[in-house]
Structure 1
Amino acid sequence: MSGPRQQASGPGPGCDPIADTRRWLERAVIGLNLCPFAKAVYVRDQVRFVLSTARTAGALREDLVHELEALASADPALTDTTLIVHPHVLQSFDDYNDFLDVADAAIAQCGLEGELQVASFHPDYRFAGTAPDDIDNCTNRSPWPMLHLLRERSVARAVEAFPDPDAIVSRNLATLRRLGHAGWRALLDDERAPD
């Protein structure tokens, strides 16, 4: 995928971060069943895709607050979740990871604790204790830095409906280890013919 390699300065000419994110969602998240809850909301068109033009963490925080308020007031049958793709800011995973505290504070400031939460995805996502090139990190690697806004009720409902939610993590790790880095790159290659 050409987009993520452009990270130092954001998307290059001809890049479409939303199209890249849709492809990742369709091929990786849904295609590999990394999140068994994603397909239902995606096929019902309940996922809102937002491209943030923020170039500073402060501007991204403003976008985040706006989208938190919009999601909280939206009909869940129409918009269940929001993906804020922010290609111009927080390209460093350490900076992105630090911003997650800002995101949690924004949820609290909006009075939405217990109602909404933020899930984290980044091209350089790294779990504590893993090497940067560990394939396990790909479970949370997206083509562009992204904040995923979720309704806690929807998460709880999905987890209740899944027979063994703890098995999702181990199944995902097994899937990615089988796929390997070459398979992961091929899956997201924008030159690949659609299935």
Structure 2
Amino acid sequence: MPQSTPISPETVIAHTEEWLEKAVIGLNLCPFAKAVQVKKQIRYVVSEATTPEALLEQLHSELELLAETSSEKIDTTLLIHPQVLTDFLDFNDFLDVADGLLEELELDGILQVASFHPDFQFDGTEIDDIENYTNRSPYPVMHLLREESIDRAVEAFPDAGMIYEKNIETMQKLGFEGWDKLDLSYLNK
């Protein structure tokens, strides 16, 4: 959601938290999100980066910080970057760079980067397909996750492999009318 006038970091975080509460947790799109949110183990970082290079530097710092901090303090980080990689294809291409950085830092297998974007589109779908909304966020977001946290969550959720299919089913039942009732007006449609 690129803006002609900058939005304050507080507003960006408020929109992101509302989306997390109403869509991700409220629709149970990620059954693991509620626990870390309730325990206040999510770090919200609003990047002021305006270039992919500056964002990469910040991603580097955030990955190192997450790796060095106990999971009880920070289990996951949402690196929100409203001023850069607002085009979904550019954002999607940047994820390969992010994965390369994980390897360079020798953090692959320890951390991973998941993605959310206002224009998220799964391969093989049309731009307006409702299932794309499972990964649509108010702003471009790189979600930095710990592999060990994912492993623990998967142990507690026996059908973790079915989450994707369940999410598509949830969104198809909800439809655009139900999505609109979530009142996430800052998310485009």
Letter paired with 2:111: L
SS of equivalent residue, structure 1 residue 18: helix
Q: Percentage identity across aligned positions?
A: 55
1:129 alignment partner in structure 2: 124
Corresponding position of 1:46? 41
Show the counterpart of 1:120. Answer: 115
- Per the alignment, residue 24 of structure 2 pairs with 29
CA contact (8 A) 1:9 1:88 kept: no
Aligned residues: 186
Partner of 1:186: 181
In structure 2, stretches of 5+ residues that fail to align are none
Correspondence 1:97 to 2:74: no
> d(CA) in 1 for partners of 2:30 and 2:110?
20
Cross-structure match for 2:63: 68
Q: Which residue number corresponds to residue 143 of structure 1? A: 138
CA displacement, residues 116-147 of structure 1 (integer Å, 9 cap, x when unaligned): 00001000000111000000101111110000
2:175 pairs with 1:162: no
Task: Assess if the C-alpha contact under 8 Å between 1:8 and 1:91 holds in 2.
Answer: no
User: Any idea what SS the aligned residue of 1:177 has?
Assistant: helix
Q: 1:133 to 1:70 in 2, by over 3 A?
A: same
Aligned-pair CA distance for 1:176: 0.7
Structure 2 residue 173 is matched with structure 1 residue 153 = no
Correspondences of 1:72-87 after superposition (within 5 Å): 72-87=67-82
Q: Which secondary structure state, in structure 1, belongs to the residue aligned with residue 182 of structure 2?
A: helix
TM-score by length of 1: 0.90
Q: Distance in 2 between matches of 1:144 and 1:151?
A: 22
Q: Please, which runs of 5 or more residues in structure 1 have no aligned partner?
A: none
Q: Quote the offset at 1:189 in angstroms.
A: 2.9
* Residue deviations 1:22-65 (CA, integer Å, cap 9, x gap): 00000110011100000001000000000000000000000100
Residue matched to 1:111: 106
Cα distance in 2 for partners of 1:94, 1:9 equals 21
176-185 vs 133-142, greater mean Cα deviation: 176-185
Asked whether the equivalents of residues 115 and 152 of structure 1 are also in contact (C-alpha less than 8 Å), the reply is: yes
CA-to-partner distance for each residue in 1:165-186, whole Å, 9 max, x for gaps? 1221222111111111232233
The one-letter code sitting in structure 2 at the alignment partner of 1:77 is E
